[in-house]
Amino acid sequence: MATGNPAMNESVYRVAGRAESSANVMTIPGTVMKTGILTVILLVTAAITWSQAGAGNLPLAYGLAILGAIGGLITAFVTIFFPKASPITAPIYAAFEGLLMGAISAAYETAYHGIVNQAIGLTVGTLAIMLLLYGTGIIRATEKVKIAIVAATGAIFLVYLVDFVISLFGSHIPFISGAGPIGIGFSVIVVIVAALNLILDFDFIEQGAKREAPRYLEWYGAFSLMVTLIWLYLEILRLLSKLNSNK
């Protein structure tokens, strides 16, 4: 089961096997509830760095953001390599990512007033639309669709990686980071690909429920979905900032 999200790997279910009892089975409602819990945790910690930045306490806000970035990366890798730890590591990951997202959001809001509410609304709206498309079967996670999304996600990752390496020498890939037509078009494509990754995430979670995977994987599924949603939110922020800079 290919997926652009590194956390969504079919081997997780193969290793976990089936639940020992029907009372300990992974379910879709259970995963939804865990996703809600992680979202609340993320919003609470995001409010911390957001408020510190808004109060002008930038050194503390930046320090918390760095802590969130490092801590989030570490807990993400721990969760991916040790899924059984996800009931503990997934909430910690959400807390760390909240610190980072709060600082990033505050920076964008300072530059473009109202952009954060717009990005949140578009992220929630995109999630709802993709759920509708997946639930009604309009878009199905066939093998061809999975391969196409994974290939597109990999290509975007390579572009970002090359741009990061070039930035170490004081430059960037021409046009894509700018607010011109090419830069905006690139961001639109990235947002679409990030949204399509949600389809793969939904399928991954549904397959876990069908396989009667152990219940602790509800936390893993929620963590994996959170990874994609955070990426989608950041890309929407980036797109909106480019559009606003042209006004």
Distance CA 236, CA 56 (A): 26
Confidence category of residue 7, pLDDT binned at 50, 70, 90: low
Provide the number of structural domains found in the chain.
1
Is pLDDT above 70 for 127?
yes
Entry pTM = 0.91
Distance CA 97, CA 103 (A): 10
185 is a domain residue:
yes
6 is a domain residue:
no
pLDDT digits (tens, 9 = 90+) for 30-89: 999 999 999 999 999 999 999 999 999 999 999 999 999 999 999 999 999 999 999 999
End-to-end CA distance of the chain: 43
Distance CA 153, CA 235 (A): 13
Q: Which two tokens stand for residue 221?
A: 């599924």
Return the minimum-mean-pLDDT range out of 45-49, 71-75, 117-121, 214-218. Answer: 214-218
4 is a domain residue:
no
Nearest to 46 by CA among 243, 244, 226, 220: 226
5 is a domain residue:
no
Nearest to 90 by CA among 219, 231, 201, 227: 219
Distance CA 25, CA 159 (A): 40
Supply the range of the domain harboring residue 184.
Answer: 11-245
Packed helices 58-81 and 28-54: angle between N→C axes, nearest 10 degrees: 160
